Chains A and B, each alone.
Chain A
């Protein structure tokens, strides 16, 4: 058994544990032991602002992705097999386009001379173009688009495992379809909701290209601070301290969530 997993373990050790450990080490060691990098992260305003903004955006993205993703997963679950495959392929399709291309596509849609503003002006709905991008709004829209599959797929997987008989049982006991949904289906799908939300939330915390391109320079998420700090302080430690702080907050979230649901259900199917 050990012989079989050892190549994988070695890869993980070489490509994940060592580099991350090296980064973490640099954040506390630079010509001697130092907590300067952490002092900065915990005392300077801009870090707090960035972390707060990052969490706000991540919460917003998670909620919107859930509201958009749940009906899609529900539909895919309740139609015949052929249709559900089609729906899921459409959900997964954007995966084959790079994040960069998708960010530029949103730019083409949302900017002042973009499709949406042009159309609204043509229809006389607005007289001045709306500020849809180069701000937090544009960042959230594009991020939701990119992360939606991570919401839909766990939801769908969970819904698949809910026996259809239960709905019929509910109906046979006289409950209306909406009551059956609220009392039976929704509670049973909650593990999927939690799994999807955790995935989307955690992935969103580390988003870089989308806020960089669509945030107009004002939407400074934590990942952008990481890259900025390499440039600003000329040492990796200043950047890795930010990364370690983000990593720790992710671990805290995972820990909190794992008290409600086992990690197996978030990370894999059982």
Chain B
């Protein structure tokens, strides 16, 4: 997680400074905004495990997010299960869903755009299923009862929610860094760079990719539960919709896929841009999306390795060979 250049250090410091400043801003707007951004950052970190390190571009990461959220909601609403157990169940359900998708798609050798389309299809199938069955609330969705307390994982004071979310994001980033620096991470990166070569070197690519999907699914499921506990209401479009899948991949792509800080930096940057555009153009709803899109296109065109990749080229303590991966 150590920055390799002055540029990266500045980016990371800016992100941390912003996250800390929320405690002192005493603004409900920024608090609400930051809570949402952090939940999306967890989904982005989830996508980063497979998309960033493994080169497995998913267009349907909402499938893990939604499965985690629904698993927890169904247990809490239909069976009165404690929210903390719901949290664990959501993480496990996300991991199982990830592993399942990985197992069947990689078994049939799907990769690249085929893999992306299959994940998209899975998310859509799950959306339709969730809106069809009675136990998932059908089209009306599921609503967790408002009952603030530690045991219900609901907090009246949003500063507490924010602190916990920050800790979760930090934990996910630490796990990502540990994974990246482990033998497993090296295998995954090797698969991203050249899967045939990795297999030729004796790496069980199928197993590694399925495990990566399971880890990614666990993070995605966790994000889904965090959303549920924040909003206390989910329906199929909200958690399995395309918007989540797009947000999951856009943060890492802008911030720097395959880096530890990239998804957080990208997600925060994009959300701040969107919020800034909204305030700047408050009299013309919708125009903020145009500005957002223009900046996004420019970023994708001129920053192919994301903000972290760009920042790696700035500053005195750069190590050229580690530019892309060491943050």
The finding on whether chains A and B are genuine partners in a shared complex, rather than unrelated, reads: no
